[in-house]
Amino acid sequence: MINAQPKIIKIWPSQVPGSISNPAYREISEFTDILRISQVSDPDIAVFLPPAEKATGTAVVICPGGGYGILAYDYEGADIAKWLNTIGIAGIILKYRLPSDLIMKNKTIGPLQDAQEAIRIVRRNAKEWNINPLKIGIMGFSAGGHLASTLSTHYMDKVYETTDTTSARPDFSILIYPVISMDKDITHGGSRTALLGSNPDQSTIDKFSNELQVNKNTPPTFLVHAADDEAVPVQNSTNYFLALQKHDVPAELHIYEKGGHGFSMPKSKGTESTWPEAFKQWLSANGLL
């Protein structure tokens, strides 16, 4: 039986780095067709652990999407964590701060601060949670995929003062219809504006265009995209894949003819609905299952 009650751990138990105090800025949760969370100022992780007898030792930190404006928390978070538990993987949802000048001195690094510390928290607790500290991955959907790829290429960036030497590098990345680039020709405009503002300079655009930041130490990556995605062009994934290949980083890319954007755990019978099975095979081939 899957544990339905996750352990909730604050990312920053005391002071959030680079924060601006704003008592009027309060978290909002709205449920229509999906649960949408916005105005996060106190980020946390929700830790879903598989039954001990089923645990593989692998863990995945999940970054829900939502254009850096909201978090699709259940659809691209809790649903994924619970599914990962069924295959013996710890699913850990990151409720990250969405970039905002109202609560951040530098909104471009706010989400990255949360992602770096989330990986470090999982590593520090690996023994207690029955996790192999060398099998901790990052997973992101849409704008959450931008955060996951940012962590994968900027895990060494010193964006806050750390208390120890625990590594923030993910051991692998799973990017599902991700925003990768901030290049105006292929990015998702809403995500770019939310993260970088209306008129970012070229150096900032390049810094957060993660296809330009890949090197030989970027984690092995599994990518999924639909060719007919009109929200986030498929070039985001293809360009990242080509950059990984250029630097001899193991990578696998699945492009489906149809599927559009935001299919998460697919309920349709289209070919995109097969990505979870392909992902399981990739995990197995890489010694993670």
- pLDDT value, residue 280: 98
Number of CB atoms found within 10 A of residue 85's CB: 22
Could you tell me the CA-to-CA distances from 149 to 36, 42, 125, 174 in Å, in that order?
Answer: 22, 22, 23, 9
Contact 164, 212 (CB under 8 A): no
Q: Which of 195, 200, 141 is nearest to 173 (CA)?
A: 141
Interval 149-181: pLDDT, tens? 999 999 999 999 998 999 999 999 999 999 999
Question: pLDDT class for 82, splitting at 50, 70, 90?
Answer: very high
- Which of 130-134, 161-165, 208-212, 224-228 bottoms out in mean pLDDT, i.e. has the lowest? 161-165
Delineate the domains of the chain, giving CATH numbers in brackets. Answer: 7-285 (3.40.50.1820)
- pLDDT value, residue 267: 78
Mean pLDDT of 88-108: 98
Mean pLDDT of 206-226: 98
Question: pLDDT class for 4, splitting at 50, 70, 90?
Answer: low
Mean pLDDT of 115-136: 98
Mean pLDDT of 219-243: 98
- pLDDT value, residue 268: 78
Residue 24 has pLDDT above 60, yes or no: yes
Interval 64-78: pLDDT, tens? 999 999 999 999 999
